[in-house]
Amino acid sequence: MKCLCNLVLVSAFILVLGLFSVAHAEALFIKDLYFGIQSDSEVMKLQEFLTGEGVYSGPITGNFFSLTLKAVKNYQTQENISPAAGYFGPFTRAKANIKLSVQLQESDNQAVAETGTPTAPVIQPKTMDDAANTMQSQLAALLQQVALLQQQLQVQQQTQQSVQNLQSQVSQQTQTIQQPQTQNPADIPTIQILSINTTSTATSVKIEWQTNLPSDSKIFLSGGEISSKVFNSESGLSTHHIVNITSLVSNTTYYYEVEAIAKGTSNMFVKRSDEFKTQTEKYFWNKMTKRMTCSPSSTPMRRSLTAIEENSLPSEIRGMDPKMRFEWYAGLDSFCVK
């Protein structure tokens, strides 16, 4: 931004310079001045200018030493030129030339008002060619300085862009570090119930199932005389699970739900529902004793006779109540039904 402002100053000075006479152009500064120059007419001109600006009180010698250096620093500080290092270069020179141009123009205006003609030059150029060459040389030097300022401005813009890019990268890296590293849900294995097998009898059932991950599993059972009952897997934390359930009613449909919870988590679980039916109790007719016997491990209970069995009864027995008809038929005091 400072380079741009200085570029504007130099450009403005070039425009002002074009409005002035050759003699006035000779009064302006045309080269850089710095510490160590001796016996130089430009330095003398600079010392006179700084004296007029109130920042120099030394002798007019044409030597650029400590007093002149200090005066240039004071002038740069006064004009907000940074850095105020004492080098009388393009930026400082352009600002000084603008001031001189304004002062010379005011002097010309006063001369015209009082005498009708502008002030005569102190040193008249020998020829018009000399004046043109002098003006062309000054313009070439100023244009060269403008080109240099443009290059500096471009470098400064590139540097600022590089700094902004670096700051953006640092900010992105900082945000990446600060953000907690979360595991992708797709990388977390999901617990699954792979298979369920049931093996039932008239009074019991064995339920086995597999999970893809070690889990704590249980069975929720309902049906028959059971409204709701929970049976934990006998395998504990495992991928193979088994539950044995007894004291069931034969020929009855039961409904169950398998629940599996994966190890180390409370929200990673799965459920699967199914049903099974207990088997019907089998009976055996003993022709020798003419008595109905139950299958092994069965508990005697009453049952109804089948249509074939009813038809085999004598007519006088068919009118009795069902219990008596079965007892006559089976020769038992009770049915044999699980």
Q: Taking the domains of the chain in order of start, what are their residue ranges?
A: 2-168, 190-277, 283-330
What is the phi/psi pair of residue 126, to 5°?
A: -65, -45
pLDDT in tens, 180-227: 556 565 556 788 898 899 999 888 999 999 988 888 889 999 988 888
Is residue 229 within 8 Å of residue 245, measured between CB atoms? no
Question: 141-180: b or e for each residue (b if 16 or more CB lie within 10 Å)?
Answer: ebeebbeebeebbeeeeeeeeeeeeeeeeeeeeeeeeeee
Question: What number is the average pLDDT over the span 237-262?
Answer: 89
The reported pLDDT for the residue numbered 287 is: 43
Which parts of 43-200 are beta strand (E)?
A: 193-200
- The whole-angstrom separation of Cα 284 and Cα 293 is 5
Is residue 53 within 8 Å of residue 74, measured between CB atoms? no
- The whole-angstrom separation of Cα 112 and Cα 103 is 14
- The whole-angstrom separation of Cα 143 and Cα 94 is 12
pLDDT in tens, 293-315: 555 444 445 567 778 877 877 77
Question: What number is the average pLDDT over the span 140-146?
Answer: 81
Q: How confident is the model at residue 108 (pLDDT cuts 50, 70, 90)?
A: confident
One-letter amino acid at 87 equals Y
What is the phi/psi pair of residue 293, to 5°?
A: -115, 150
- The whole-angstrom separation of Cα 45 and Cα 302 is 138
Nearest alpha carbon to residue 235 among 252, 249, 219, 216: 216
| DSSP assignment letter at 185 | G
Topology adopted by domain 190-277: Immunoglobulin-like (2.60.40)
Residue 332, pLDDT > 80, answer no
Q: How confident is the model at residue 53 (pLDDT cuts 50, 70, 90)?
A: very high
pLDDT in tens, 116-127: 776 655 555 556
Question: What number is the average pLDDT over the span 19-38?
Answer: 77
CA 103 to chain centre: 61
The reported pLDDT for the residue numbered 237 is: 86
Contacts of 146 (CB under 8 A, 6+ apart): 7, 10, 11, 14
**Up-side HSE of residue 298: CA atoms within 13 Å toward CB?**
23
Q: Which two tokens stand for residue 12?
A: 């403005």
Q: Which two tokens stand for residue 301?
A: 């209970």
Q: How confident is the model at residue 15 (pLDDT cuts 50, 70, 90)?
A: low
Measuring CA to CA, how many Å separate 13 from each of 21, 133, 147, 281?
Answer: 14, 19, 15, 119
